[in-house]
């Protein structure tokens, strides 16, 4: 978003030469969306266009230099978090949502999986030790809690609580 305008433009940063370059714009203007990288492609999904929550998904292949529309998610999600786990893309929570769905990248098929224990708007997520961890976010008791998803039993469990509530934060696994 730029000064109240939702954008479709995309810029690529090259740290080797310290230069930002505009690349092809997304097909859909969006903000508060999920973004992941898998096998050299970018995947963006959900978010909002300034008026509506979105369920659309598109991918960018830098070799082709263009965005391609993919099958939309089952739910419209803004303020969600996303990760790649076991070669699938997960769309986690969002505005007034506990639901989670995953996209099989090979077949481009979205499937609902176990729901979160808390609604999570503006949470962050990462994969650690074979589980998806979702951290903070706005919604009932979400701001301090960390949930982990165990795909073997298709269930989210509260792992722990942080001392400081967090939302619209970032997380990375080392």
Domain that includes residue 29, residue range: 10-161
Asked if residue 174 belongs to a domain, the reply is no
Is 154 within the bounds of a domain?
yes
Query: Is 100 a member of any domain?
Result: yes
- Asked whether residue 1 is domain-assigned, the answer is no
Q: What is the CATH number of the domain that holds 141?
A: 2.120.10.80
Apex 101 CA angle, 56 and 155, nearest 5: 165
- Model's pTM, two decimal places? 0.94
In a domain, 5, yes or no: no
User: What digits encode the pLDDT tens for the residues 10-54?
Assistant: 999 999 999 999 999 999 999 999 999 999 999 999 999 999 999
- Please state the domain count of the chain: 1
Q: Is residue 169 part of a domain?
A: no
């Amino acid at each position: 978003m730029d000064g109240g305008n939702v954008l479709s433009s995309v810029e690529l940063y090259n740290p080797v030469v310290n230069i930002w370059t505009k690349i092809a714009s997304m097909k859909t203007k969006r903000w508060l969306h999920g973004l992941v990288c898998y096998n050299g492609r970018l995947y963006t999904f959900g978010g909002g266009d300034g008026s509506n929550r979105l369920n659309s998904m598109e991918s960018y292949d830098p070799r082709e230099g263009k965005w391609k529309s993919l099958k939309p998610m089952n739910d419209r999600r803004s303020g969600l978090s996303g990760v790649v786990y076991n070669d699938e893309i997960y769309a986690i929570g969002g505005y007034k949502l506990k639901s989670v769905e995953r996209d099989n990248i090979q077949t481009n098929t979205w499937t609902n999986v176990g729901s979160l224990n808390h609604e999570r708007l503006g949470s962050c997520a990462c994969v650690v030790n074979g589980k998806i961890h979702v951290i903070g976010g706005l919604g009932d008791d979400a701001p301090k809690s960390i949930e982990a998803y165990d795909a073997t039993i298709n269930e989210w469990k509260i792992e722990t609580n942080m001392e400081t509530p967090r939302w619209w934060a970032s997380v990375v696994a080392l």
